[in-house]
Amino acid sequence: MRDDDIYVRKCCGPFVVGYLGYTYPSIVIPWLAEKTSESDFNVRANVAKAFSQALGRRFPREAARVLSSLIPDERPRVRAAVKAATRNVASTEEGILALRAQAPKLLAMIGAD
């Protein structure tokens, strides 16, 4: 997830890791939460991007928890990934409720507070 190659940046988080998380959530979601402690911006952006597809809609509470730990990261690529994932989570009623309860700052980031 550290690789700066454009293909890795575009596909790793949202598709590969997101699919694995959707298929094996009890393994991948804790792993993603652990990866938020890394400083590498590609890793952190890919963590957020993993929730920008079905994984974020299926597990909104977990997504809110993981994404909220990325809020302080001001780097543009990480910030954009967090916003995209938050918009995805907020696309369902359950997601909005999870974000309101666990991470209202994320809703504020996308202007949906």
**Residues near 51 by Cβ (< 8 Å), separated by ≥ 6?**
18, 59, 63, 66, 67, 85, 88, 89
In tens, the pLDDT along 55-101 reads 999 999 999 999 999 999 999 999 999 999 999 999 999 999 999 99
Using alpha carbons only, give the angle 17, 21, 22 rounded to the nearest 5 degrees.
120
Domain locations in the chain? Answer: 6-109
- Answer yes or no: CATH 1.10.390 is held by domain 6-109: no
pTM for the whole structure = 0.90
Retrieve residue 98's tokens.
Answer: 């999870």
What is the helix (H) or strand (E) element at residue 26, kind and residue range? Answer: helix 25-35
pLDDT, tens digit, 9 for 90 and up, residues 89-105: 999 999 999 999 999 99
